[in-house]
Structure 1
Amino acid sequence: MKKVWLSLVALVLMAALVACGTKQNTPGQASGGESSPPSETQQEVTLKVGATPVPHAEILNAVKDALAKEGVKLEILEFNDYVQPNVQVYEKQLDANFFQHTAYLEQFNKERSYDLVKVTGVHIEPIGVYSKKVKGLDELKEGAKIAIPNDPTNGGRTLSLLAKHGLIKLKEGVDVDATVGDIEQNNKKLEFVELEAATLPRALDEVDAAAINTNYALTVGLVPNEDALIIEDKDSPYADRLVNILAARPDNKDSDAIQKLAKALNSPEVKKFVEEKYKGAVVPTF
């Protein structure tokens, strides 16, 4: 009897093992042969990008939903200066930034011994000269005060623009890298007041004219193509150095998330958005 009982137990155990084997599912398969969700879903990546409010943050917001569908959560941090966005990318508090042109980044890297890099170019913002006191450059009196950006290259852009329109003459061979010290001729004895770019719109009441970057002009309601006394030609010989860029670090510029953002910023949808919203004040370069 004992042998019969042991035989029955053995048969039950064997049946159980066979049954377990038939219920084993291959990866990604549920019982009955139906597909099941992958055991590991794709992780959403958060990308922190620093930008000035207009137009950069607005452009980034325009691609936010498209990036979310690709697994990239875009976190946009707004800045009103041209220093911290680069500092924070270098110190890895940000993943990338979008606020500056190539010439500015080159000069910033040189002065700080940084190695930030361009990922892709997006648009050009012509710099313009504005005034609340005169309606034309010919109305500027001797000794008039002209406020210009004090940051690398943007001051030089302004001086090159004024030289092109005959107000001053610069040394031979200088362009966007020009400084006040490069002025060779200043017949009206214009006084140049160098200020932080973000403060220039507020300085309009206190000077005869001010050169204002388009992003800051748009912020205070100025319409560059209508309100500027003179404005940069987007087809200038050094326009390629003035293209506003997405910048990152050498260690992350080729990451999947950064490249997805770069592709989104160069998309037909962004081109249409920029052209319709800014009406020539911001010019796509792709």
Structure 2
Amino acid sequence: MSHRTTKLIAALAAAPLLFGLAACATPAGGEGDSASEVVKIGVVGKGDPQWSAFEEAAADEGITIEIVDFGDYAQPNPATTEGELDLNQFQHIVYLADYNVSAGEDLTAIGSTAIYPLGLYSTKYESADDIKDGETVAVPNDPSNQARALLVLQSAGLIELKSGGTIFSDLADVDESASRVKVTALEASLTPTSLPDVAAAVINNDFVADAGLTFEDAIAQDDPSDPNALPYVNIFATRAEDEDNATYKKLVEIFQTDPEVQAGLIEASGGTGVPVVTPVADLAESLAKVEADTKAAKG
């Protein structure tokens, strides 16, 4: 990680598949006629208030954007790779690194948005300490979020990880004999609906409302202010050949500085996240390191 300091801004706060072939906003690195082109941006949670504010702010700068909604995390990166999207904004660096390594692709980060704490929720218990020994807790099944969820459970005193915990921990790393609970992995969008059947579940921010919960209901969470949390900063991603696209860079700037967009982020996250403006070079350095570590871990 670079010694340059990540600049934290004040507190913040991440359907059916409906898209066709995307029109690229501009040639890679070019200015283009952004007024006559549409920049397609893939997200998970189009209804979050920052997106309508972002569309308006971009339009004020002569840029037309279309927010394309996805029901789960597996779809936006392939759609970006195939050119059906110009950008996406739904993931942190660890998730992108795992996609690039697994798919043999080279999507890259061109701007930061925010870092969000990952929370443990329950409809049966008011604290992690109250969870009975031997009960089951659900975590997301995608590798990057699963590892982070297991670290949350370990910090809450519910499990012990054989390795001590890393960004590559999975269910096999759980020391069952030393852990208080059993852990099951589910697709991220299903963790909220699992709550009636489990003691608690680690639920990604995009799906907290689906469980009829608020962010304040979390009974445990990780610390987004940890300086080692850079790999979990959420980002705008695009194809490597478009990383210098002037229109895309302008959109990142608008997102990071427009007051209404930032207010939408705060509202969407329930005040739990922290907006960040991280130098793109730092994002690239972190992505390269996590990709290298991911390749080594996959053997």
For normalisation by structure 1, the TM-score amounts to 0.79
Q: State the Cα distance separating 1:237 from its structure 2 match.
A: 4.5
For 1:220 and 1:208, the matched residues in 2 are separated by 14
1:104 pairs with one of 95, 104, 121 = 95
Instruction: State whether residues 108 and 152 of structure 1, in contact with CA within 8 Å, keep that contact through their aligned partners in structure 2.
Output: no
Q: What do the CA deviations read for 1:171-228 (whole angstroms, capped 9, x no partner)?
A: 346322211111235435522111010111111111111000112113444221x201
Instruction: State whether residues 109 and 236 of structure 2, in contact with CA within 8 Å, keep that contact through their aligned partners in structure 1.
Output: yes
Instruction: State whether residues 92 and 235 of structure 2, in contact with CA within 8 Å, keep that contact through their aligned partners in structure 1.
Output: yes
Instruction: State whether residues 125 and 213 of structure 1, in contact with CA within 8 Å, keep that contact through their aligned partners in structure 2.
Output: no
Tell me whether 1:125 sits opposite 2:116 in the alignment.
yes
Q: State the Cα distance separating 1:54 from its structure 2 match.
A: 6.1
Q: Which residue of 2 aligns with 1:275?
A: 266
Q: Which deviates further from its counterpart, 104-113 or 237-246? A: 237-246
Q: Which residue of 1 aligns with 2:77?
A: 86
Q: Structure 2, unaligned stretches of length 5 or more?
A: 1-32, 278-299
Q: Secondary structure at the residue paired with 1:260?
A: helix
Q: Could you say which structure has the larger radius of gyration? A: 1
Q: Which residue of 1 aligns with 2:248?
A: 258
What is the root-mean-square deviation in Å for CA atoms of aligned residues?
Answer: 2.1
Higher relative contact order (CA 8 A, sep 6+): 2
Q: Which residue of 2 aligns with 1:17?
A: none
What amino acid sits opposite 1:59 in the alignment? Q
2:62 pairs with one of 67, 71, 80 = 71
Q: Which residue of 2 aligns with 1:30?
A: none
For 1:135 and 1:42, the matched residues in 2 are separated by 51
Q: Which residue of 1 aligns with 2:38?
A: 46
Instruction: State whether residues 54 and 218 of structure 1, in contact with CA within 8 Å, keep that contact through their aligned partners in structure 2.
Output: no
1:136 pairs with one of 127, 146, 150 = 127
1:245 pairs with one of 220, 235, 242 = 235
Tell me whether 1:157 sits opposite 2:148 in the alignment.
yes
Map 1:207-226 → 2, pairs under 5 A: 207-224=198-215, 226=216
Q: Which residue of 2 aligns with 1:145?
A: 136
Q: What do the CA deviations read for 1:223-277 (whole angstroms, capped 9, x no partner)?
A: 21x2011011112353111111111001222212211211111115133442355
For 1:42 and 1:210, the matched residues in 2 are separated by 43
Instruction: State whether residues 274 and 283 of structure 1, in contact with CA within 8 Å, keep that contact through their aligned partners in structure 2.
Output: no
Q: Which deviates further from its counterpart, 142-151 or 61-70? A: 61-70
Q: State the Cα distance separating 1:146 from its structure 2 match.
A: 0.6
Q: State the Cα distance separating 1:66 from its structure 2 match.
A: 1.9
**Segments of 4+ in structure 1 off by > 4 A?**
none
Q: Percent identity?
A: 34
Q: Which residue of 2 aligns with 1:5?
A: none
For 2:218 and 2:35, the matched residues in 1 are separated by 48
Q: 1:164 to 1:186 in 2, by over 3 A?
A: farther
Q: Secondary structure at the residue paired with 2:197?
A: coil
For 1:231 and 1:173, the matched residues in 2 are separated by 18
Q: 1:62 to 1:219 in 2, by over 3 A?
A: farther
Q: Structure 1, unaligned stretches of length 5 or more?
A: 1-40
